[in-house]
Amino acid sequence: MPTLNEHPTVRKMTAQGLSREQEPPVSLEAGFLRELFLEAGADDVGFVSIDRPELDDQRDDLLRLFPAVRTIIPYVVKMNKELTRAPFRSIANHEFHSTGDEVDDVGRHAAERLNKQGIRALNPPVAFPMEANRFPDEKTWVISYKPIAVAGGLGHMGIHRNVIHPRFGNFILLGAVLVAAEVSEQQQPLDYNPCLECKLCVAACPVGAIGADGWFDFNACFTHNYREFLGGFSSWVDALTDSGSAAAYQQQFSKGETVSMWQSLAFGPNYKAAYCMAVCPAGEDVISPYLADKSGFLREVVKPLQEKEETIYVTKGSDAEAYVQKRFPHKTVKQVTNGAGVTTICGFTDNLVHFFQRGQSEGLNAVYHFIFTGNTPIDITVTIRDKCIEKVDGLQGQADLTIRADGEAWVRFLNRKMTGVFAFVTGKIRVQGDPRLLIAFGNCFPF
């Protein structure tokens, strides 16, 4: 066995002279980079230093992803708006997948060209694949493109929380390449928001996920729109395996639903809606027909989506369920689980805020102290007031209800694997205060 120094590769390369992965500092011309991205197929591009304050809440994640990163280069690829607006899901979904592939290709080609020039660069995928093993307790995405695109001057988030480009509107998908180099120029956020606050996205969303005040109901969108992704798929597998026979399965699911699941597995998962994006009239290249004839725009673009007869997936007792029944009685409501059950106590405490059902909390004003013991001891204070939720670490203020629980027992209780009676009798869960507040708390979450 030769020593490392005697190995043919090592001998050859040592003779040529060794270099580090990349000689710092590298500085790149913004003009050159811009051309490179546009040639690779991007429709617009920005430059954002890793030190920018807009990245404060994801800098650690980005450095873990690529420790050498100095600049993030966000870019956008346009979507065809006619296809995105089609009420036929096959058409709109094909457009999402095709544009998504283009975003990935742009990032890959740009990073490869930079790599060939000795500049280290990394391009994360447009959305999928994700770090699926983290589901459901932690976020599965490794980079959040929206805040980076905003920092790079590529647009602002509208009421529907999608980024709206000043020219292309929200008909864009986002990507970014992380480079181990400084760039000669940087963009700043746009000095206005292209969102017109017309609230058409609010009116079109079949599950009421978009609040007129900018509130986003993650659970509503995740349960319906993502029925054939992540949690929705996992919920379907649970129902399938629990059904016990073909006849029992067929009582729960139509042939169309089964075939739709097959189609998602075979050709890429199908979004059930994306109507918020479809109807958005913002952006210079998009706005004219809306300004010229608002009622015509409503008739041609918004109404077909609102009037579409379709199955809408909701969790039992959720805000979305009440919303569809009231707003879109011609759509068929189907109760499902969201497949994002709590599996750890950290998952519970971290995700509470994202799954909060503000409509269900109407009339509830209370402070909760949670004291979890066991493998992950943690104390949190949750305040629900005026249909808003706030969670802070530690025990703060005067509690209306204090819940002391063994963390593992609490998770089993939430997953209905331990009855409340058993939990209370055995002392695994103890409450101090009005127990009705515990029921009211439970009603605010689709766990």
Q: Which does 446 bind (CB under 5 to 8 A by kind): ligand B12, ligand SF4, none?
A: none
Asked if residue 136 has a cis previous peptide bond (ω within 30° of 0), the answer is yes
Residue 441 CA to residue 368 CA, distance in Å, equals 9
Q: Which residues contact 82 (CB under 8 A, 6 or more apart)?
A: none
Which listed range, 28-36, 106-114, 278-286, 327-335, lies at the site for ligand SF4 (CB under 6 A)?
A: 278-286
298 counts as binding ligand SF4 under rule CB under 6 A: no
- Least Å distance between CB 159 and ligand B12? 9
**CA 328, CA 265: separation in Å to the nearest integer?**
29
Q: Which residue is nearest to ligand SF4 (CB)?
A: 158
Residue 322 interacts with which of ligand SF4, ligand B12, none, CB < 5 to 8 Å by class = none
Q: Minimum distance between the CB of residue 430 and ligand B12, rounded to whole angstroms? A: 28
Rounded distance between C-alpha atoms, residue 65 and residue 148, angstroms: 15
CA dihedral 296, 297, 303, 306 (to 10 degrees): -160
226 touches, from ligand SF4, ligand B12, none (C-beta below 5 to 8 Å by class) = ligand B12
Q: How far is the CB of 14 from ligand B12 (least distance, A)?
A: 41
Q: For binding to ligand B12 (CB under 6 A), which residues are involved?
A: 96, 126-127, 138-139, 141, 143-147, 160-163, 170, 172-174, 216, 218, 221-222, 225-226, 271, 273-274, 276-277, 351, 354
Smallest gap from residue 174 Cβ to ligand SF4 (A): 16
Taking the complex as a whole, the smallest distance from the CB of residue 342 to ligand B12 amounts, in Å, to 11
- ∠ CA 173-229-266, rounded to 5°: 90
CB of 291 to ligand SF4, least distance (A): 12
Residue 72 contacts residue 62 (beta carbons within 8 Å)? yes
Interacting partner of 77 out of ligand SF4, ligand B12, none (Cβ under 5 to 8 A depending on kind): none
160 is a contact residue toward ligand SF4 (CB under 6 A): yes
Q: Identify the burial level of 364 via C-beta atoms within 10 angstroms of its C-beta, where 0-12 means exposed, 13-18 middle and 19 or more buried.
A: middle
Of 235 and 351, nearer to ligand B12 (C-beta) is: 351
Closest CB to ligand SF4 among residues 170, 223 = 170
Among residues 282, 403, 411, 414, which is the contact residue for ligand SF4, using CB under 6 A?
282
- Asked whether 160 and 152 are in contact (CB, 8 A), the reply is no
Regarding 380 and contact with ligand SF4 (CB under 6 A), the answer is: no
Residue 62 vs 149, nearer CB to ligand SF4: 149
Could you tell which of ligand B12, ligand SF4, none binds residue 158, using a CB distance below 5 to 8 A set by kind? ligand SF4
Binding partner selected for residue 393 from ligand B12, ligand SF4, none, CB under the kind-specific 5 to 8 Å limit: none
> In this complex, which beta carbon is closest to ligand SF4, that of residue 49 or of residue 80?
80
- Closest C-alpha to 278, from 305, 258, 251: 305
User: What are the beta bridge partners of residue 122?
Assistant: 178
Nearer to ligand B12, 138 or 362 (CB): 138
Helix (H, G, I), strand (E, B) or coil at 120: coil
β-pairing, 401-406 vs 429-433, is antiparallel
Rule CB under 6 A: say whether 159 interacts with ligand SF4: yes
Q: Give the other-Cβ count within 10 Å of 58's Cβ.
A: 18
Q: Which of 106, 105, 101, 96 is nearest to 45 (CA)?
A: 106
| Residue 384 contact among ligand SF4, ligand B12, none, beta carbon within 5 to 8 Å by kind | none
> Which tokens is 59 given?
């800098």
Residue closer to ligand B12 (CB basis): 144 or 402: 144
Q: Are strands 163-164 and 172-179 parallel, antiparallel or unpaired?
A: unpaired
SS3 assignment, position 158:
coil
Place of tokens 């500049």: 119
In the complex, the smallest distance separating the C-beta of residue 196 from ligand SF4, rounded to whole angstroms, is 4
Tell me how far apart the alpha carbons of residues 175 and 143 are, in angstroms, rounded to a whole number.
10
Of 387 and 404, nearer to ligand B12 (C-beta) is 387
Name residues contacting ligand SF4, limited to 193-222 (CB under 6 A): 195-201
For residues 145 and 62, give the distance between their C-alpha atoms in angstroms, rounded to a whole number.
Answer: 11
Stretch that binds ligand SF4, among 113-121, 141-149, 153-161, 392-400 (CB under 6 A): 153-161
User: What is the distance of C-alpha 66 from the center of its chain?
Assistant: 21
Any idea what the Cα angle at residue 387 is, between residues 382 and 389, rounded to 5°? 25
Q: How many residues bind ligand SF4 (CB under 6 A)?
A: 13
Q: Of 144 and 343, which CB lies nearer to ligand B12 in the complex structure?
A: 144
| CA dihedral over 214, 217, 220, 225, signed as positive or negative | positive
Q: How far is the CB of 282 from ligand SF4 (least distance, A)?
A: 4
By the criterion CB under 6 A, which residues form the site for ligand SF4?
158-160, 195-201, 279-280, 282
